[in-house]
Amino acid sequence: MPRREKECQRTEQTRVVRGTEGTIYTVRRLQSRPTATKQELRVTTIVILDIPATPQTRDKVLATLEEALVDTRAFDGCEGLELLVNQEDPANFVVWERWTSRDQYERYLAFRQASGFSASFRALFPDPPVIRKFDIGKKFD
């Protein structure tokens, strides 16, 4: 039986990012993904990490996040992530992550804890970050 190629949806995202030294970068991301039928839709876990830095630690937290999130995105099961900065409180960061499953996220979290990153990162702010995990209830495309 001939192999049927799946139809793909191609998306392009361009955004401007300001680095810690004030350098401005233009980031362009191309992504192709198969268009899924209802039977092929996977269970996706959304993780929201709310990080309460202080004005004094903001730059260090941002630099640490910019470096660490490259590894997060490369970790098996991470479908995508975004680093958000609160418009009213620039020391408040939110990392929005999309994982293939909660199990994949838990493996990633165990990796971060075993490497010592979680403890050293946690030391940068007064209150612990808030981690919330969600299932997608319904998509409105």
pTM: 0.68
> What DSSP assignment string belongs to 36-90?
PPGGGPPP-EEEEEEEE--TTTHHHHHHHHHHHHHHHHHSTTEEEEEEEE-SS-T
* Domain assignment of residue 54, yes or no: yes
Supply the range of the domain harboring residue 107: 42-135
Say which CATH number the domain at 49 has. 3.30.70.100
53: in domain: yes
Q: How many domains does the chain divide into?
A: 1
Is residue 66 included in any domain, yes or no?
Answer: yes
Q: What are the pLDDT tens digits along the chain (141 aa)?
A: 444 444 445 555 666 655 555 655 555 555 555 554 444 456 799 999 999 999 999 999 999 999 999 999 999 999 999 999 999 999 999 999 999 999 999 999 999 999 999 999 999 988 889 999 999 888 888
